Structure 1
């Protein structure tokens, strides 16, 4: 297809991956700055606009290039191995009565009518297509549900009643012992019962304790069409046509037997990174609010532009519910049914942004402290119930890592930048440590399988060298919590910091399970009136090669965020009150293209428009390979009563028909000539050679940094000392059950040998507000006589060699 009338994706002609700063394109009317933005100074809107530079969600350019956007605000199946079972829930009844045929896949029994491997010409059994040859499993199923033999003639009325009762009791027992109880068996089973997807040892040590009598059948699992009971006793119908099944036993709440889809490994099976595909979605705006995702929260308080000002406005509004209004948002914006729908949509991962105030707040920070953690624990429970893995995304750091509204406070960067840059980084490492210790516990590690240690750090502001130093220290902290090797704590995800993926080649070689994260968007560059038909192949040409190269040269590479938006239309997409480029109201300037009505009023979209968006979505998924769409849900506006930014909502796209019901349909959309073909190297997945980072690399990028941007030598800056009490995160609480008192939720701290204190102020030393801004001068003197000796020793400045490039 022909391209748009202008080129919003590529860099200027002298740009290459090795020269990512070469003449990036400017927004119409924008004045040149180092950040491709309309400000007179980087990260500063200027006095005339009355607001500092906010944030959005990703890179400014269509590629993953070096500069932050100038926005304001915010396949294939897994290997069919001998013990990887089909999508039939009944087929999970393995090894209970007789040994299984190791060539189970060859029997081709499927529950998934949409699975591409099902031959339409095969016989159909109910809703399940395809069985060929002799299948003992179908025979077992028929036997299990066969009607019992009729009794001899007696009194027909009495006999009929007794017979009916016996049939019901027999079916209940058959369901339990033939389906429910086998599904609950997760220990090492030589016959291959549920688990051992890869032939290895099951990762779940939990064993079910469910019991049943003819009059009391406990239903702890189910597939498509089954009834699910929620914590509050209400029910809904589970819809999953892909062979997925839920599992929840309140007597055994850490059981990992659920599977999202037939092609996705169950939680007690190994997820083969680089082979099994991450098809995920973000739960943005839930535990870390953003104006355009939850517009109703911000419409109620017109002065609120970020969670800092929203929290202040709510706290002052005691009659309206005060700050606890945020908890009501946590309760209602995302619920258990969302997780069930995500699994039913063919998605197997969620990325959940949380903020540091899930752990604690300090001084005058106005955020609702600790409450969001309670709801993250609910997310773990719901993800476990539906077989979904979690990428925990630390979305907001103290002082702000990028100055955008999602970091908590719109304004300046105070992380690795300015006089409090080092102290805020120390504090951030503590929060990474606290989270890593919790999620590395055996009760949680198979569900929270990835940890994004920092979302969208402003690399161009404080430099890649110091970002590598921070990432390397975070790496040591996470691995110290859980240990080294596959199954020992989460995959670590590093955002590329707007540096470009190729600039990370040669870093973290022989590390243990590290991955790159990139956030490609098209919508924040130059605007165009062109429709989706002109962008049908743009994701393929703009993103696919970079993803392939990074998967080869660095290792696992995911797109942590992307959307269907091709322009910046939508309420608060560029921030509260900051306008829209497309309509010419953007405060950074620009020429009006037209009205946003056609891009936001989705109820007027016809079948052609929806098909074009669908094609764009499929191309994006195929190009990015392992992905997390931003975002699952956009809330309604109180003004319109509708979703004001429809291109950003996966859920709405499913409902209205512009998102694929089966994301596997994306495979082959880009028709790549050289796509990445796994597996990853052994050390990249925690195997041989892992955690053997070259000594030279560790020495060159040792922590702490020797200098901080906009502040100078680290020896002259405020730092903390590790002497404070550590706020260990609590585990979940469960409804009272017969065995509730025996349930071990963990201590919150996996590595008992890790007993260092929390980074806190040194008595006798002076500190600035963590959010003070980079232009403030450091305290002078830093410390009173005698207090300086208690500060952490910071090495003298040295010159380090940048990482090699390939």
Structure 2
């Protein structure tokens, strides 16, 4: 009898001996069990790989431990398994491994050398560390070291891009939760060791910078019940980086980038979503926790070894004051300043404009001394600025931002001392994960936040989508950029430098990224779209703006 539907294998004849049929059933059953076991094993492996893609990525890129200074040293010299045991550290290069459990402000000094040298001058345009940097007269030309001690998805997308959307791994909170405490500690310490090293600071010095802004988060100091963050390991890397800055004559701007509760609900604060600092059920608790953290930090960094080196001390990065009560933020700021000054910090204290607009800070915090207002300027997160042509963006940098900076510097119209603590040369918001993990761009009209008031679902570029707004060219390797695009990127960057030097100066965001060259000074400099020396430039805002459209520069990328 044939199977219905045409040709196919014949059914066993009804008169086949029973023992032959039984033998076939047994063989078939064994084969089925083997296939089932293989399927289960494969499924488990796939599931494990899926739940921890960072490990598989790290396996390919894992740096080799640099700990030759442990050779010949006895493990018995240390309390095993503790923070003070360098045999538990992935990387011990340039750390002093002499055991000490001494604390300053409740924070360990283990890893620091007892002597230092402040005679270093990073470049001929600024004084050596031991001499005074005349803020307000000498422009700050600085660089951020973002995405290192505070994870930011668009800077290091490899941590995030292999997870599925339903895994909801979108920030450092969810990343460390997904990895679990042990794997998170291992994965992030390898990142701390590899993403920034001594050569980073040599390269920054050679690029003509004189300051570095180092973002770090509160879990470098402490964690709280329920926190998944990796506690304290980033602390020793912060201390080592500060010493590397010293060895290259670079002054340091300490930037507390993430504080308890999240000051803005954005992924670079550590946890995306609700603003829980000063707000909500734990708002008051988180306010006090952040004061306590500054109490520890300011006690530690008031040590004499930091007086010439840490000349700028940041309170909190980008507090989202449209979500916060202004009076609450000002009261907290006053308390934080009192705490920090009381512990002996005489550095410039930096506070963010909170997205209120520079003009709205006139007359505020006037009783405090040696404060600096920090604004972050980007043309790509504002749809009105995003739709400007390339020539108009350059004009806006020269005229609009210059005028804002001058008004803010004048106490009759603004706060007074003002700088730009973050900016980039990007002219689109196309970079992967720039607008959060799994969220598209305003440029292509794919910014779907799930909230009608913040989503942008129609393309936003100067051509009004005709020709079509596209991201491929902006995200391409710079070697594929047209000559006109390269010239515009360089001129736009130098125009911003000019503008921000009408105030106290600037810090570019950021030194390096895995994939996004328009956000990496290192990559941009190599591509010839950023100046080789931050203090040597060819375009100035006193010059006329070139006709980029006449050069054939497209406006849809």
The TM-score normalised by the length of structure 2 is: 0.71
Pair 585,542 (structure 1): closer, same or farther in 2 beyond 3 Å: same
8 Å Cα contact 1:622/1:667 also seen in 2? no
CA distance in 2, matches of 1:532, 1:407: 31
Instruction: Please list the CA deviations of residues 148-181 of structure 1 after superposition, one character each: whole Å capped at 9, or x if unmatched.
Output: xxxxxxxxxxxxxxxxxxxxxxxxxxxxxxxxxx
In 1, the alpha carbon distance for the partners of 2:280 and 2:377 equals: 28
SS in 2 for 1:524: coil
Post-superposition offset of 1:556: 2.2
In 1, the alpha carbon distance for the partners of 2:331 and 2:180 equals: 38
Distance of aligned partners of 1:372 and 1:434 in 2 relative to their CA distance in 1, 3 Å threshold: same
Write the distance in 2 (CA, Å) between the matches of 1:408 and 1:293: 14
The Cα of 1:325 is off from its aligned counterpart by 0.3
Q: 1:566 corresponds to which residue?
A: 427
Query: What's the secondary structure of 1:350's corresponding residue?
Result: strand
Question: How far did 1:524 drift?
Answer: 1.3
Higher RCO, 1 vs 2 (CA within 8 Å, ≥6 residues apart): 1
Maintained 8 Å contact 1:291/1:572:
yes
Q: Please name the residue that 1:465 is paired with.
A: 327
1:600 aligns with 2:475: yes
In structure 1, which of residues 525, 532, 536 is the aligned counterpart of residue 394 of structure 2? 536
Aligned residue for 1:659, secondary structure, equals: coil
Tell me if structure 2 keeps the 8 A contact 1:520–1:561: yes
Q: In 1, are the aligned partners of 2:129 and 2:251 still within 8 Å (CA)?
A: yes
Paired residue for 2:439?
578
SS at match of 1:545: helix
Q: Does 1:444 align with 2:306?
A: yes
Alpha-carbon offset, residue 666 of structure 1 = 4.7
Q: Can you give the 5+ residue segments of structure 1 that lack an aligned partner in the other structure?
A: 1-229, 233-249, 483-487, 636-642, 673-806
Displacement after TM superposition at 1:585 (Å): 1.8
User: 8 Å contact 1:522–1:566 — kept in the other structure?
Assistant: yes
Aligned residues: 410
Checking the alignment, whether the CA contact within 8 Å between 2:349 and 2:370 is kept in structure 1 is yes
1:490-569, aligned counterparts within 5 Å?
Answer: 490-526=347-383, 532-553=390-411, 554-569=415-430
The Cα of 1:399 is off from its aligned counterpart by 0.8
Matched, 1:256 2:137: no
Q: 2: distance between equivalents of 1:549 and 1:338?
A: 36
Alpha-carbon offset, residue 464 of structure 1: 1.7
**Deviation (angstroms), 1:552:** 2.5
Matched, 1:633 2:512: yes
Change (3 A) 1:254 1:629: same
Distance (whole Å) between structure 2 residues aligned to residue 577 and residue 567 of structure 1 = 17
Structure 2 CA distance for aligned equivalents of residues 322 and 662 of structure 1 = 37
> Which aligned pairs between 1:636-715 and structure 2 lie closer than 5 A?
643=515, 645-666=516-537, 669-671=540-542
Q: 1: distance between equivalents of 2:311 and 2:149? A: 19
Q: Does the alignment pair 1:613 with 2:470?
A: no
Instruction: Return closer, same or farther for 1:517/1:656 CA change in 2, 3 Å cut-off.
Output: same
Cα drift, residue 530 of structure 1: 6.3
Structure 1 residues 509 and 301: CA distance shift in structure 2, 3 A: same
Aligned to 1:381: 243
Higher fraction of helix: 2
User: In the aligned structure 2, how far is the partner of 1:426 from the partner of 1:357?
Assistant: 15
* Equivalent residue runs for 1:427-438 within 5 Å: 427-438=289-300
- Structure 2 unaligned runs (5+)? 1-92, 96-111, 449-454, 460-464, 544-557
CA distance in 2, matches of 1:531, 1:340: 37
Query: SS of the residue aligned with 1:597?
Result: coil
Q: Encode CA deviations 1:371-394: one digit per residue, 9 max, x unaligned.
A: 111100111110000000111011
Q: Is 1:323 the counterpart of 2:185 in the alignment? A: yes
Could you say if the C-alpha distance between residues 322 and 452 of structure 1 is closer, same or farther in structure 2, counting changes exceeding 3 Å? closer
Alpha-carbon offset, residue 609 of structure 1: 1.5
Secondary structure of the corresponding residue to residue 129 of structure 2: coil
Query: Structure 1 residue 417: deviation in Å?
Result: 1.1
- 1:540/1:620 contact within 8 Å kept: yes
Structure 1 residue 665 displacement after superposition: 3.7
Q: Distance in 2 between matches of 1:285 and 1:278?
A: 22
The residue aligned with 1:405 is 267
Distance 2:142 2:527 in 1: 19
Please report how far the alpha carbon of residue 300 of structure 1 lies from its aligned counterpart in structure 2 after TM superposition.
Answer: 4.0
Q: Which of 282, 288, 295 does residue 144 from structure 2 map onto?
A: 282
Counterpart residue number, 1:155: none
Aligned counterparts of 1:503 and 1:586: Cα–Cα separation in 2: 29
Deviation readout 1:318-354 (Å, 9 max, x if unpaired): 6xx4432000000011111111111111110111111
Work out whether residues 264 and 319 of structure 2, in 8 Å CA contact, stay in contact via their aligned partners in 1.
yes
Shift of the 667–278 alpha-carbon distance from structure 1 to 2, 3 Å rule, reads farther
